[in-house]
């Protein structure tokens, strides 16, 4: 089975070298695709230089910051065009420990279309979040589950393994979310395509280096998008 691991990056220069090394340690047979939005900190320069000696590393460099949703779509298209069997996405900030990759793969190869590395299934944990951040994340998940009718517990995290054949059934023109709501929207659209889902517990660790890219405006846009997806 051919696996593509995607890492979406915007200013992740401290994290990218560490996470790529950790991924290749637990999964030496995969390729890693970095989708970088012209990070001012030179994240893509690091990737471009590494690629000269590391053929498993691939790079899509986009002209400007265009959002997590469109970056994920770029990775999905790359996986389809280059005939990978599965696409696994992790946040590049090392919040999603690569040691769980083998468990996601195992579950996927049992025949599940979408395997979620989940903070909210039994055994899942979060390290380094304040009470308020936990409550906000829980509230967003409750909101998305209620509005979109999702049965899965962690719908706002991006640590997932998708079967590429299932991704081919998505109509990209229908996807409205450019930013963070993409995570919920893609589950909703895959559910409509009769995809099967499973959750594998993970311990999420808040980033040590760099800054989160979500801000108030992005968060509000995401909430509005979720509602819009349901009523349109
Ligand atoms: N290419 C790209 N990556 C992004 C964008 N927004 C966020 N990311 C990346 O997506 C991942 C998750 O973002 P992060 O800021 O950690 O969000 P949080 O974990 O919800 O606080 C990180 O690897 C970011 O660098 C974007 O607009 N473009
Ligand atoms: Mg993060």
> In the prediction, which pLDDT does 232 show?
85
Predicted local distance difference test score (pLDDT) of residue 123: 98
> How far does residue 137's CA lie from ligand 2's centre (Å)?
12
- Identify the pLDDT of residue 150: 97
Report the separation in Å between the CA atom of 84 and the middle of ligand 1, taken as the mean of its atom positions: 23
Q: Spell out the long-range contacts of 16-24 with Cβ–Cβ below 8 A and sequence spacing 24 or more.
A: 16/43, 16/46, 16/47, 16/92, 17/46, 18/94, 19/90, 19/92, 19/93, 19/94, 19/98, 20/50, 20/57, 22/94, 22/97, 22/98, 22/99, 23/90, 23/98, 23/101, 24/56
CA distances from 203 to 14, 29, 109, 119, 160 (A): 21, 24, 22, 6, 14
Interstrand relation of 3-9 and 203-205 (parallel, antiparallel or unpaired): unpaired
- Residues 6 or more apart from 54 whose CB is under 8 A from it? none
Pairing of strands 86-91, 3-9: parallel
Beta bridge partners of 3: 86
What's the CATH fold of domain 3-231?
Answer: Spore Coat Polysaccharide Biosynthesis Protein SpsA; Chain A (3.90.550)
For the chain, 232 residues long, the average pLDDT of each consecutive 10-residue run is: 98 98 98 98 98 98 97 98 98 98 98 98 98 96 96 98 98 94 98 98 98 94 95 88
Question: What pLDDT is stored for residue 136 in this prediction?
Answer: 94
User: What is the helix (H) or strand (E) element at residue 127, kind and residue range?
Assistant: strand 125-127
Give the distance (Å) from ligand 2 centre to CA of residue 139.
Answer: 18
What residues flank ligand 1, with Cβ below 6 Å?
A: 8-10, 12, 35-37, 65-68, 71, 91-93, 95, 207, 212-214
Unique residue bearing structure tokens 């460099």: 61
Round to whole Å and give the CA distance between 21 and 19: 5
In terms of Cβ atoms closer than 10 Å to its own Cβ (0-12, 13-18, 19+), residue 83 is exposed
pTM of the model as a whole? 0.97
Instruction: With beta carbons less than 8 A apart as the criterion, state whether 43 and 11 touch.
Output: yes
């Amino acid at each position: 089975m051919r696996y593509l691991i995607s890492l979406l990056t915007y200013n992740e220069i401290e994290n990218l070298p560490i996470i790529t090394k950790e991924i290749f340690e637990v999964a030496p047979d995969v390729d890693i695709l970095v989708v970088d939005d012209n990070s001012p900190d030179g994240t893509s320069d690091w990737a471009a230089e590494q690629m000269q000696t590391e053929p498993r590393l691939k790079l899509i460099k986009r002209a400007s910051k265009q959002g997590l949703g469109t970056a994920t779509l770029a990775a999905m298209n790359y996986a389809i065009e280059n005939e990978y069997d599965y696409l696994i996405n992790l946040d590049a900030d090392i919040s999603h420990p690569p040691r769980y990759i083998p468990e996601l793969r195992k579950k996927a190869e049992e025949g599940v279309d979408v395997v979620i590395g989940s903070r909210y299934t039994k055994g899942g944990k979060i390290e380094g979040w304040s009470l308020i951040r936990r409550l906000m994340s829980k509230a967003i998940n409750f909101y998305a589950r209620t509005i979109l009718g999702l049965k899965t517990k962690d719908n706002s995290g991006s640590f997932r393994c998708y079967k590429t054949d299932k991704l081919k059934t998505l109509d990209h023109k229908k996807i409205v979310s450019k930013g963070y709501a993409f995570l919920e929207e893609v589950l909703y659209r895959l559910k409509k395509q009769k995809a099967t889902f499973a959750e594998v517990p993970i311990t999420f660790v808040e980033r040590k280096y760099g800054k989160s890219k979500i801000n108030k405006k992005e968060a509000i846009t995401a909430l509005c998008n979720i509602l819009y997806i349901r009523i349109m």
